[in-house]
Amino acid sequence: MAPSGPGSSSARRRCRRVLYWIPVVFISLLLGWSYYAYAIQLCIVSMENTGEQVVCLMAYHLLFAMFVWSYWKTIFTLPMNPSKEFHLSYAEKELLEREPRGEAHQEVLRRAAKDLPIYTRTMSGAIRYCDRCQLIKPDRCHHCSVCDKCILKMDHHCPWVNNCVGFSNYKFFLLFLAYSLLYCLFIAATDLQYFIKFWTNGLPDTQAKFHIMFLFFAAAMFSVSLSSLFGYHCWLVSKNKSTLEAFRSPVFRHGTDKNGFSLGFSKNMRQVFGDEKKYWLLPIFSSLGDGCSFPTCLVNQDPEQPSTPAGLNSTAKNPENHQFPAKPLRESQSHLLTDSQSWTESSTNPGKCKTGMSNPALTMENET
């Protein structure tokens, strides 16, 4: 039996890293073949009308360039990790390791999280803490088992891009889905008449006819799968949810709230695509914020806050009465809450907000 040690472990990790690139290589080879089949075999060899050739080639190369650009950015944009302020200090780490699990651990985490802009908790109401990274998780941050890192606003780990899709590249991922769908639909639409000619023997018996046939099948098949995936992520953006949050709603101090981060369709879009619409269709980073803190509007009443008096509008009907968490919000996101029809932090009774910042009933739960 072969001995196991640091050398064999590192060799296994290198093998896994190589295997993770197989889906990306497959997509790249498929894309390269589609370029040859469409631009050369269909447009140049099979199309007889010069005007049709020029229009199809110009439109095709535009979609091809945007597809490749957004795909490249999705793959090679490094996921963002929590900043240093979310990591425990050396003394705090020693306390966690030395003390038995219990109130001492809870108190260490409560003190460390006191001034951090975190609103969410674990299912049991504890501060979200990662044992592997030894940090307090920012809101919407999760530990990726493949990357072995905590990823800001993690959506999912995508094998087709060999990367975590999160705050730093979610916009690029959406554009990748959009341009790949347009790419496939354009190919299927312009190839359809030649595909029909293939079955009616209207094309000469050359190598091009087989490329035309398989090109249409591939484009049509990917169009169906991409349309459902792109539609799903458009719905997520409109609700300001990640894929993980769609399956498990975020938990706040007052309890689970599936719409806790939703600010309305327009502001949800701006969080991902930014304020300047001229950058929306380009794979250039323009998302708002820093990935560590997010504006939130709590739909349910926080039990630590006073209940709404009888006769007044409920918080669900009057956005101005929504309870806003007491932690400080990052300046890069705060303007979403200060313009018209936004949710603002209540400042009428700062004492009450302060008492809501710590919950003695919190219990620590380690999440990885």
| pLDDT, the chain, mean | 81
pTM score, whole prediction:
0.81
Residue 349 pLDDT > 50: no
* Residue 282 covered by a domain: no
308 vs 126, residue with greater confidence: 126
Q: What is the DSSP letter of 251?
A: E
* Residue 9 covered by a domain: no
Same-domain status, 122 and 245: no
Same-domain status, 223 and 99: no
Distance CA 272, CA 178 (A): 15
43 vs 9, residue with greater confidence: 43
- Number of structural domains in the chain: 2
Confidence of residue 329 (pLDDT cuts 50, 70, 90): low
Supply the pLDDT for residue 358.
34
Same-domain status, 241 and 183: yes
Supply the pLDDT for residue 10.
74
Distance CA 45, CA 364 (A): 67
Cα angle value 286/159/141 (rounded, 5°): 50
Would you please indicate which residues are annotated as catalytic (active-site) residues?
A: 158
Distance CA 182, CA 55 (A): 16
Supply the pLDDT for residue 305.
39
CA distances from 227 to 70, 146, 164, 232, 234 (A): 17, 27, 21, 8, 10
* Residue 90 covered by a domain: yes
> Within 10 Å of residue 30's Cβ, how many Cβ atoms?
12
Most confident of 273-277, 321-325, 354-358: 273-277
* Residue 367 covered by a domain: no
354 vs 97, residue with greater confidence: 97
Residue with tokens 């997520």: 236
* Residue 119 covered by a domain: yes
Confidence of residue 333 (pLDDT cuts 50, 70, 90): low
Residue among 88, 103, 72, 124 nearest 283 (CA): 72
Same-domain status, 133 and 266: no
Same-domain status, 95 and 233: no
Contacts of 80 (CB under 8 A, 6+ apart): 151, 152, 166, 167, 168, 291
Out of 256, 272, 288, pick the residue that ends a domain.
272
Overall average pLDDT of the 269-285 stretch: 96
Same-domain status, 47 and 117: no
- 45 burial type by CB count under 10 A (0-12 exposed, 13-18 middle, 19+ buried): middle
Supply the pLDDT for residue 101.
66
Sign, Cα dihedral of 297, 301, 303, 304:
positive
Out of 105, 133, 161, pick the residue that ends a domain.
161
Per-residue pLDDT of 36-62, as tens digits, reads: 999 999 999 888 889 999 999 999 999
Same-domain status, 258 and 130: no
Q: Is residue 166 within 8 Å of 151, Cβ to Cβ?
A: yes
Overall average pLDDT of the 177-201 stretch: 91
Range of the domain at 138: 84-161
The values of phi and psi at residue 143, to 5°, are -90, 125
Q: What is the DSSP letter of 316?
A: T
Overall average pLDDT of the 62-67 stretch: 98
Q: Is 173 helix (H, G, I), strand (E, B) or coil?
A: helix
Supply the pLDDT for residue 109.
85
